[in-house]
């Protein structure tokens, strides 16, 4: 087990995290920081900060298709990002406080929990 130090400015609960084993990356969602942090999973070095997320809850990495999915509980959406550039490629409006993410590989469906389950079919951008 490893412990990584983060900047003092990183605040909020860390509700969810994800890992990209293919690229050796760790994705963190400090809720009050309004960003997703992308760390090197070995060293803990900050690789990227994905801004523009009001309240990041969950994050899901699909390294097989080069995508990152983040639920934003602040604006009630699921945001899709390119897995290399981290540029936002899509936004799906959901209910306020959108939270957990799961992926059903057999049906290619992203499941988002908002107190109830809503199925979102990711489409190529």
Per DSSP bridges, beta strands 109-113 and 117-120 are antiparallel
In a domain, 8, yes or no: no
In a domain, 33, yes or no: yes
Report how many domains make up the chain: 1
Over the stretch 4-31, which tens digit does the pLDDT of each residue have? 888 888 887 887 899 999 999 999 999 8
**Cα 46 from Cα 36, distance rounded (Å):** 11
Domain extent for 92: 14-120
What is this structure's pTM?
Answer: 0.85
In a domain, 6, yes or no: no
In a domain, 9, yes or no: no
| CATH number of the domain where residue 67 is located | 2.130.10.10
Of the pLDDT bands very low, low, confident and very high (cuts 50, 70, 90), residue 105 is confident
In a domain, 39, yes or no: yes
In a domain, 5, yes or no: no
**Cα 73 from Cα 56, distance rounded (Å):** 6
Burial 35-61 (b: 16+ CB within 10 A, else e): bbbbbebeeeeebeebeebebbbbbbb
In a domain, 4, yes or no: no
């Amino acid at each position: 087990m490893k412990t990584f130090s983060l900047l003092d400015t990183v605040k909020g609960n860390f509700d969810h995290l994800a890992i990209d084993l293919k690229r050796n990356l760790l994705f963190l969602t400090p809720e009050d920081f309004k960003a997703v942090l992308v760390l090197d999973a070995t060293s803990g070095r900050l690789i990227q900060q994905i801004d523009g997320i009001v309240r990041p809850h969950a994050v899901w990495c699909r390294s097989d298709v080069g995508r990152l999915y983040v639920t934003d509980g602040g604006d009630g959406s699921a945001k899709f990002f390119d897995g290399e550039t981290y540029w936002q490629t899509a936004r799906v409006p959901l209910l306020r406080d959108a939270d957990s993410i799961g992926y059903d590989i057999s049906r290619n469906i992203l499941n988002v929990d908002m107190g109830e389950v809503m199925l979102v079919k990711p489409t190529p951008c």
